[in-house]
Amino acid sequence: MGPVGPEFSRHQRQPRGSSQRSGPLGDQPFPGLLPKNLSREELVDALRAAVVDRKGPLVTLNKPQGLPVTGKPGELTLFSVLPELSQSLGLREQELQVVRASGKESSGLVLLSSCPQTASRLQKYFIHARRAQRPTAIYCAVTDGIPAASEGKIQAALKLEHIDGVNLTVPVKAPSRKDILEGVKKTLSHFRVVATGSGCALVQLQPLTGPG
């Protein structure tokens, strides 16, 4: 679950080197939520167009909100199309593995590797960093309004709620013990205002709790 409080909305990074042709999701990869009833071929094409960086065995792409990383057999997930995506990127027999990815409800960068040894080393690093409570993820958000403080910490209790067909992270005021047992998460994040203008602010966030 993300660290963002009620006044924040996720700022989506624009991919570099996107395909100029109009694909299944339009001219820009993932202009919004992942469309329903997408075919495997359309998803592979969209993910290929969403690649933002390639360096050695590492591939970074911009995952849309609504795309699960794993799922039940037969479900369309990022993991299920990795063989086709690997072939589409010219990796031949070097199939991509997921190193780091956000959840279904979040958009953001996914780190993949075509080298099992590299993937294993990076996964161990992220696990060690999480156990040591060292943040490894930085998020950018745009606020509706300008925060009074330019830097500080946000404490919020958050839960997933199904609204208009979409799972959204919403705040919970004064959560009870029952709320916690039912999945409400207490979060703590550091924030810093990077820029302001037109009544909005670009804010950098680092989750100090949770998987980030």
Domain boundaries, the chain: 40-132, 139-207
Mind listing the pLDDT tens digit for each residue in 157-172?
Answer: 988 887 776 677 788 9
DSSP class per residue in 48-117: HHTEEEEETTEEEEEEPTT--SS-STT---TGGGHHHHHHHTT-TT---EEEE---TT--EEEEEES-HH
What is the CATH topology of the domain spanning 40-132?
A: Pseudouridine synthase (3.30.2350)
- Summarize pLDDT for 186-210 with one digit per residue, the tens: 888 899 999 999 999 999 998 887 6
72-123 pLDDT tens trace = 888 889 999 999 999 999 997 789 999 998 776 677 889 999 999 999 999 9
